[in-house]
Amino acid sequence: MALTTRTKIMGAVLAAALAGSVALLSSHDDDRTGAAGAADAERTPGQVRLTETKEGVPSRSATDWVSYGDQVAVVRVLAEHEQHDHVTDDEDAGGETYMPRTVYMRVTDRVWGRPAAPTLPGALSVTVDGWQLKDGARVRVASQDASRLEVGHTYVITFARYADGVWAPLGSGAALPYDQGRVGKGEFEGGDVTVDAYRSALERQRVSGEEDPVALRTAGKTAAEIEQVLRSAHPDPRATRPAQAREPAESFCSVASPLAVSENSRYTPDELASVLTDLAATASKPADASALRTYAHSLDAETGADAPDVTARQASVVAIEHACAIEVGALKPTDS
């Protein structure tokens, strides 16, 4: 039987939800412009198709986070990549399909970790909400009451490592906008939102007699204050965390992949320096590691270097492109 776009979204996303990824289930659609439906006047323009979520484990309360999560971290989304799935006959006939995204993110701060939890990698790729494509038009898909995870934005995210060894956000309630170091400032439901609008939108999640969501409890606060909330929370003794697997090691090319020109990544000098430093740690050739470290050091504003090292930059380009068969261009910062 051929799959329609709606069925494809439901099946693919339910599988992702059960695996722990941020996911959606298209059981209810709501086309809006921007983010935070509870605060229409404070949205960024741009059509967004909101969908209800279906998740494998709870992810909204502090009890959920410490019961099912392994690590909580501040991350910045640096790049995204389209996942081109096979188009079914029904989709082709109807001119409509769904395209998920993979986003690449870098950990900038570690907030909380479950005792004896595996170590969270410094860089991760995660499957997230993508686009609905119909008649040549592209509409962003976002989960209701959740962040979509957009390039250039910062978030506080609770991660779990699942049975297949993959790290993923615990669920839609475990990714909080965190631009400018405040919960609720940044991207939400696919658009920019203020702390006040975010708080208003989350008020509808309150259920009498149940624990308030972490997002609502910490709106306007810092990651350090989230840590305090989590340290005072107690795991549910009935909770069963996803089975753990052997901790996967980062490879040179997996760290380098967001640097590809095709990924349209945005990096400040310090962020690029951080990626290059991680690359140096996984380089197989001492000369490549030395070039990467030298260029990273010259980019790092804290070192007081007068200018980036051109020779080291050119050697770094050669090392990455030769090892990974990707094009990284001039390998210069792309964001101020």
The pLDDT score that the predictor gives to residue 317 is 93
Distances (CA, A) of 170 to 34, 75, 133, 158, 174: 24, 14, 27, 6, 6
Tokens at residue 43, please?
Answer: 């949205």
Element (H, E) at 75: strand 71-82
Please report the DSSP string for 221-285 in residue order: --HHHHHHHHHT----TT--PPPP-PPPPPPHHHHHGGGSGGGT----HHHHHHHHHHHHHH-SS
Alpha-carbon gap, residue 231 to 246, rounded angstroms: 27
The pLDDT score that the predictor gives to residue 222 is 97
Residue pair 189/142 in contact by the 8 Å Cβ criterion? yes
Residue pair 290/306 in contact by the 8 Å Cβ criterion? no
Alpha-carbon gap, residue 336 to 322, rounded angstroms: 28
**Tell me, what DSSP letter sits at residue 136?**
T
Distances (CA, A) of 316 to 84, 181, 294: 30, 32, 9
Instruction: Please give the single-letter amino acid code of residue 100.
Output: P
The pLDDT score that the predictor gives to residue 92 is 53
Distances (CA, A) of 212 to 58, 65, 107, 216: 13, 12, 26, 7
Tokens at residue 46, please?
Answer: 């741009």
pLDDT (tens, 9 = 90+) of the chain, 336 residues, equals: 333 343 333 333 333 433 343 333 333 345 554 554 534 434 344 578 887 665 778 899 999 999 999 999 999 999 988 776 555 555 555 567 888 889 999 999 999 999 989 999 999 989 898 988 877 788 898 888 899 999 999 999 999 988 777 899 998 899 999 999 999 999 999 999 999 999 999 988 788 889 999 999 999 999 999 999 999 999 998 887 664 434 444 678 878 888 888 877 888 888 888 889 888 888 888 889 899 999 998 987 555 455 789 999 999 999 998 888 888 999 998 865
The pLDDT score that the predictor gives to residue 31 is 54
In the three-class reduction of DSSP (H, G, I as helix; E, B as strand; rest coil), residue 70 is classed as coil
> Any idea what the Cα angle at residue 145 is, between residues 104 and 156, rounded to 5°?
40
- Greatest Cα pair distance, the chain, in angstroms, is 64
Q: In this structure, how many other beta carbons lie within 10 angstroms of the beta carbon of residue 39?
A: 18
Residue whose tokens read 């094009």: 327
The pLDDT score that the predictor gives to residue 235 is 92
